[in-house]
Amino acid sequence: MDRPVQGSKAKGAEERQFFLKKRVGRLAFFLLVLPLLTWMVARGVDRIALSRWSGEDFAVITVEKIVGVTTESPEEGDGWQTERITVEISRRSGPERGTTGTIEAVRLTDSKLALLPGREYLLLSDTFDDGEIQYSISDRYRIPAVTAFITAACLILAGAAGLSGIKAMAGLFLSLLLLLGWFVPRAAEGFSPIPLAILAVAGVSLVTIVFVVRSPGLWPIPFLGALGGITAASAAAWLMVELWQLTGLDGDSAALLSSMAPALSMKGLLLAAIIVGSIGAVLDVAISISSSMAELFTYDPGISGRRLWQGGISVGKEILGSMINTLLLAYLGSSLPFVVLIAMEGIDLLSLLNDPHIAQEILRSLAGTMGLLLTIPLTALTAVWWLGRRKKGSEVKKAPAA
């Protein structure tokens, strides 16, 4: 009678030892391997950046010491006040790489970029016809720090979520490659933004589904649901743009882009931005509904199509409220400085709603909401049809031969 008890105790001790080793391994990864890999990646990207940013009028520098600051009075008719900062620097790139010296940089007095000893910055130099060189420190050199944080986040995700985290990161990077490497260059070349955006989000949806949804047999369900949602968001956005007479020129970057590329349709680019911005929420809802309905079908293969439909719609309704808040708050957060500026002017709510910049943010939120509303029933309908086909196929295989 003692042997089963002893065997269970030994098995329990082995399991505890296994989990202890697993925890120690993860702890060693986070304490030793993660910092080393993060440093190696950041160092490698830093070297690549320094080799490319090595022109005669552009260099990466390290500020060693602030020697002095001299404020200049603005010229007559010019409201800008400048200051000259004498800085001791060491150059990390450029023809004079590795040298140390003192320069005098010119910048606006109210510049928010603080120059701190030991930090790295981007140095610009302009050479005039008389041979005089004017230096200016344009920005902080933050590539190594940004790369380090991105690498650390990816490694933490991989260590915490395992293979699922790795697949999620692979899908994210491929999606960014598709958008930044294909969609943006094609749009910059003058191609119509809306068809490009639809193709881009279709590719992003396919990549995300392949890497996130484990069962290949379920891939068509969220893909068709997401495409339907994006179609609804596009149609709603187009209708509101036409009725509200939005031009897509609200904002400094849009106005600058329009002046540099007059042939580029800013209204089309606005619609393309809405399509790309909505795909994340739409795809999230489509995958959640399809996964939930697949679990119901796996738990009860004999479930009726009506009950399966009701389950998908119920899950979609639960998700819808939080996703609408996510869309609205995300767009409001991106425009918060502008909203605060308008509020400081004492503009009332009606004038705020009539402002074209605010109208664009409302447009994005409403279009995304319309996309979510159609994504839910379309994904549920697709799941009922697709899982029903699988059910009939399995019944045919089980049927005895005549």
pLDDT digits (tens, 9 = 90+) for 23-72: 666 666 667 777 888 889 999 999 998 888 777 788 899 999 888 888 77
How far apart, in whole angstroms, are the C-alpha atoms of residue 63 and residue 339? Answer: 37
Which residue is associated with the tokens 């004017």?
A: 134
pLDDT of residue 400: 53
Rounded to 5°, the CA angle 67-69-70 comes to 135
pLDDT of residue 146: 92
Pair (136, 185) in one structural domain = no
How far apart, in whole angstroms, are the C-alpha atoms of residue 267 and residue 194? Answer: 10
The predicted model scores a pTM of 0.72
pLDDT digits (tens, 9 = 90+) for 372-389: 888 999 999 999 988 887
Question: Is 357 a member of any domain?
Answer: yes
Bridge partners of 247, per DSSP, are: none
Pair (219, 100) in one structural domain = no
What is the pLDDT averaged over residues 289-310? 87
The residue among 159, 189, 218 that closes a domain is 159
The residue among 112, 130, 159 that closes a domain is 159
Question: Is 402 a member of any domain?
Answer: no
Question: Is 150 a member of any domain?
Answer: yes
Pair (317, 256) in one structural domain = yes
* DSSP H or E stretch at residue 401: none
pLDDT of residue 402: 43
Confidence check: pLDDT of 297 > 80? yes
The pLDDT mean for the chain works out to 80
- How many helices (H) and strands (E) are present in the chain, helices listed first? 13, 5
**Which is more confident, 299 or 109?**
299
Label residue 401 by pLDDT band (50, 70, 90): very low
Pair (196, 335) in one structural domain = yes
Domain range for residue 301? Answer: 162-397
Q: How many domains does the chain have?
A: 2
Phi first, then psi: give them for residue 133, nearest 5 degrees.
-110, 125
The token pair that represents 245 in the structure block: 């007479």
Pair (69, 168) in one structural domain = no
pLDDT digits (tens, 9 = 90+) for 239-293: 888 888 887 777 667 777 777 777 778 888 888 888 888 888 888 889 989 988 8
Pair (130, 190) in one structural domain = no
Secondary structure of 371-388 as H, E, C letters? HHHHHHHHHHHHHHHHHH
What percent of the chain lies above the pLDDT cut of 70? 85
Pair (10, 99) in one structural domain = yes
Whether 87 contacts 66, CB under 8 Å: yes
Pair (48, 185) in one structural domain = no
Bridge partners of 89, per DSSP, are: 63, 101
